[in-house]
Amino acid sequence: GAVVSQHPSWVICKSGTSVKIECRSLDFQATTMFWYRQFPKQSLMLMATSNEGSKATYEQGVEKDKFLINHASLTLSTLTVTSAHPEDSSFYICSAPRDLATSTDTQYFGPGTRLTVL
Amino acid sequence: SQQGEEDPQALSIQEGENATMNCSYKTSINNLQWYRQNSGRGLVHLILIRSNEREKHSGRLRVTLDTSKKSSSLLITASRAADTASYFCATDSGTYKYIFGTGTRLKVLA
């Protein structure tokens, strides 16, 4: 079946540093990927839509200069948390639909990346 | 907020009992999906129900959808300790941009 991977699975960094998270679709091409954030004991909130070959679109309230998204290829999207602060500590999850042409297929979620900013 | 609501927020039951959790949403949908998440882990897809479907079954899971009430329910029958997790509904209006519910934390006591 389709698999979406994320790397790293967890990262601890100092305040002020930037952290890059990768999301890969392993056996299918994904022209669109989505990034979600989940704070402890809360639900997932959509942050942005990553579009291959064009700029990402961000949800209301998400700072695009803070969360840089690059959809470098049909199988890779990266999320860079710039100048991370403790309030950015969260679980970041990406997802990719396998076939945008139909709505008959579901999305595949990555296993998530836990970011802790000290 | 665009987020859907789920209730109860938390549910504690004995092994062997049934667990029911409900999800309400705000906009028209193409489909609704239920996911399970163990503490600190990724999402596990449970079941997808489309807007033209009213009920679906998968093993011990039963999902209903009432589009007129904009609500769905997930029933887990004969629960097991391994079912302890958080359960989320997610709606898709056809854009693949999922709106997740607030989640129900289920605890099944052995």
C-beta of residue A83 within 8 angstroms of C-beta of residue A24: no
- Is a pLDDT exceeding 70 seen at residue A1? no
pLDDT at B96: 82
What mean pLDDT, rounded, does chain A reach?
Answer: 91
3-state SS of chain B is CCCEEEECCEEEEECCCCEEEEEECCCCCCEEEEEEECCCCCEEEEEEEECCCCEEEECCEEEEEECCCCEEEEEECCCCHHHCEEEEEEEECCCCCCEEECCEEEEEEC
Q: Which of residues 42-101 of A touch B (CB under 8 A)?
A: 42-46, 49, 91, 93, 95, 97, 100
Contact assignment for B43 to A93 by CB distance below 8 Å: yes
Task: Indicate the residue of B30, B48, B97 with minimum beta-carbon distance to A49.
Answer: B97
Two structure tokens written together for B35 = 């996911």
Mean pLDDT, residues A79-96: 96
- Is a pLDDT exceeding 80 seen at residue A72? yes
Distance of CA A64 to the CA centre of its chain: 13
pLDDT at A103: 46
pLDDT at A46: 94
CB count within 10 Å of CB A41 equals 10
pLDDT at B76: 98
pLDDT at A97: 86
pLDDT at A101: 54
Over residues B46-94, the pLDDT tens digits come to 999 999 999 999 999 999 999 999 999 999 999 999 999 999 999 988 8
Contact assignment for B97 to A109 by CB distance below 8 Å: no
Q: Give the bridge partners for A58, in sequence order.
A: A48
Taking contacts as CB-CB distances below 8 angstroms, the residues of chain A near B31 are 103
Among residues A86, A41, A50, which one has the least CA distance to residue A70? A50
- Is a pLDDT exceeding 70 seen at residue B15? yes
What mean pLDDT, rounded, does chain B reach?
Answer: 93
One DSSP character per residue, chain A reads: ---EEEE-SEEEE-TT--EEEEEEESSS--SEEEEEEE-TTS-EEEEEEEETTS--EE-TT--TTTEEEEEEETTEEEEEE-S--GGG-EEEEEEEES-TT-SSS-EEE---EEEEE-
